């Protein structure tokens, strides 16, 4: 990393009478590269700092998702138990499983269609 210029101390680059345009452009490119790398490090540090404040909320969300899945499983089991006296335990389990798979497939097809649409729009913009 180049030394920082201090007031009262002559810049070693100033001792040269004339730098060529190529030298000046080379120095400009080097300085720009150093600046961009420093900016990237700064933005990365800021992003990490801001995200670290949300860590406990991500954990809360993960716990909520797990509890939500457990509740859905309990509801599906309750539906099987409710239907079992009418169509038997195996029939009820099969019916509820098929319904759950159909709903899941429908939800994923909606998501896939939205992603396809967004990808197509992004490709059209480029």
Domain ranges (residues) in the chain: 12-49, 53-125
* Better pLDDT: 5 or 56: 56
Q: How far is 107 from 72, CA to CA, in rounded Å?
A: 15
Residue 2 has pLDDT above 70, yes or no: no
Give the pLDDT confidence score for residue 20 in this predicted structure: 84
Tell me the Ramachandran region of residue 88: left when phi exceeds 0, alpha when psi lies from -120 to 50, beta otherwise. Answer: left
pLDDT in tens, 31-58: 999 999 999 999 999 988 888 888 889 9
Angle at which helices 89-125 and 55-87 pack, to 10 degrees? 140
Of 59-68, 75-84, 106-115, 116-125, give the lowest mean pLDDT range: 116-125
13 within 8 A of 2, measured Cβ to Cβ = no
Give the pLDDT confidence score for residue 86 in this predicted structure: 95
Is 0.85 topped by the overall pTM? no
């Amino acid at each position: 990393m180049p030394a920082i210029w201090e007031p009262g101390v002559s810049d070693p680059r100033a001792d040269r009478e004339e730098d060529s345009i190529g030298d000046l452009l080379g120095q400009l490119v080097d300085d720009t590269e150093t600046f961009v790398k420093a900016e990237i490090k700064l933005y990365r540090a800021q992003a990490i700092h801001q995200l670290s404040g949300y860590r406990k909320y991500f954990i809360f969300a993960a716990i909520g998702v797990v509890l939500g899945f457990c509740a859905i499983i309990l509801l599906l089991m309750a539906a099987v138990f409710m239907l079992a006296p009418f169509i038997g335990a195996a029939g009820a389990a099969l019916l509820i499983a098929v319904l759950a798979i159909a709903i899941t497939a429908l939800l994923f097809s909606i998501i896939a269609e939205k992603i396809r649409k967004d990808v197509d729009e992004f490709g059209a913009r480029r």
